[in-house]
Structure 1
Amino acid sequence: MPFENLEFDVPEGLATDDFVLRPIVTADAELDFAAVMESRDYLRTWEQTSWPEDDFTVAANREDLEKLERRHASRQAFTYTVMNPAGTECLGCVYIMPTDARMFAKARITPVGNRRWDDYGAAVYFWVRKSRLATETDRVLLDALQTWLARDWSLGAHLIVTNEQFAQQVDLIQRTDLQLRFEVEEPDKPGRYLAYE
């Protein structure tokens, strides 16, 4: 069911000793741009596109963030920026998508086991800037997300989604107790997305 049809309070975010998670806004464009461009090689693998292009600009990023901010406000999908506690550095992003989003309607979704896709309310994607991988900020974020989604959200069951070609994130997820539930193949993309519960 689309998020806009569900009655629940959208959490304002999450603050930990390591980071602050809050809705992304257009004013985050420069800090977000720095994180995106530092991490562009693996983001292209994660996205299975050429985004961000080498000539991507802060202005283009600002336009992207305007769209994400509007989608968040209208409850179509939720995007949170991950900031350091001081708010001076973007560490990554979290995207919470409804499982009936258009991108999934066009995809071939194959269960691994006896689960059904429509039993899940949300698909959650995340990335952490490249320079923070060595300090396992991605692991800290994933652990915090699991607790936050279960405690503060009313979406029912959710899936953590990554791309099979993003080996670093696949390895991270497989070192947790999350289990592979679905393989998702989007048209015109070379690799599968893997959805874990």
Structure 2
Amino acid sequence: MPFEIQKSDIPEGLTTDEFVLRPIVAADAELDYAAVMESRDYLRAWEQSTWPADDFTVEANREDLVGLEERHADGRAFTYTVMDPAGTECLGCVYLMATDGRSFTGARITAVGDQRWDEYEAAVYFWVRRSRLATETDRTLLGALRAWLAQDWTLRGHLFVTNEQFTQQVDLIGRTDLQLRFTVENPGKPGRYLAYS
């Protein structure tokens, strides 16, 4: 399902001293591929899949980005690349998916307390390339995302989502004041997803 947000209200991106967020496009394939393959071991835990395979190619990545670019343009999901200020290195990605989208169809969603899933419009996922974890770029990105989503977006609530097996990101979120609101179990996935706000 498309988001309720109007296209005119979709932010073009975010610029900070450390990075630039902008909508991902197919032309980003090579830079994105380098970040993905450097981080493939932990992305598999994050994705709960075999993606990216060891033989994943730039061209296959380009095909993926074409789909992401189309979904962004249609307002079905929003994907932003995280680039260094010079635009020469991809540092990671940010994804906003509708909470009533197909990613959650058939999932078992369990509330923590009296939370209601339908009160949130977006599920937000992000990752940072492995070589940038030592400098805590993921912590900086999470802080920037929280401010950006609160100030520049008109969403009807959002959740930060990660997988319990992606312990590095679970620990990162655990060091903030974000609270666990839901657990999400997808058929065929070995680990639960954890949703915070």
Normalised to the residue count of structure 1, the TM-score between the two structures is: 0.98
In structure 2, distance between residues paired with 1:2 and 1:27: 24
Partner of 1:6: 5
- Tell me the SS of whatever aligns to 2:125: strand
Partner of 2:51: 51
**Contact preservation (8 Å) 2:13, 2:22:** yes
Partner of 2:164: 164
Partner of 2:180: 180
- Tell me the SS of whatever aligns to 1:106: coil
**Contact preservation (8 Å) 2:2, 2:74:** no
**Aligned ranges 1:22-61 → 2 under 5 Å:** 22-61=22-61
In structure 2, distance between residues paired with 1:103 and 1:73: 19
**Contact preservation (8 Å) 2:5, 2:154:** no
In structure 2, distance between residues paired with 1:165 and 1:59: 29
Structure 1 unaligned segments of length 5 or more: list them. Answer: none
Partner of 2:127: 127
Partner of 2:21: 21
**Aligned ranges 1:30-109 → 2 under 5 Å:** 30-109=30-109
Task: Measure how far apart 1:106 and its partner are.
Answer: 1.5
In the TM superposition, structure 1's runs of 4+ consecutive aligned residues that sit over 6 Å from their partners are none
Task: Measure how far apart 1:184 and its partner are.
Answer: 0.3
What's the CA shift string for 1:35-67, capped at 9, x where partnerless? 000000000000000000000000000000000
Structure 2 unaligned segments of length 5 or more: list them. Answer: none
Task: Measure how far apart 1:109 and its partner are.
Answer: 0.2
Task: Measure how far apart 1:80 and its partner are.
Answer: 0.1
Partner of 2:115: 115
Partner of 2:150: 150
- Tell me the SS of whatever aligns to 2:27: helix
Letter in 2 for 1:142: L
In structure 1, distance between residues paired with 2:144 and 2:65: 24
- Tell me the SS of whatever aligns to 1:81: strand
Letter in 1 for 2:95: Y
Partner of 2:136: 136
- Tell me the SS of whatever aligns to 1:162: strand
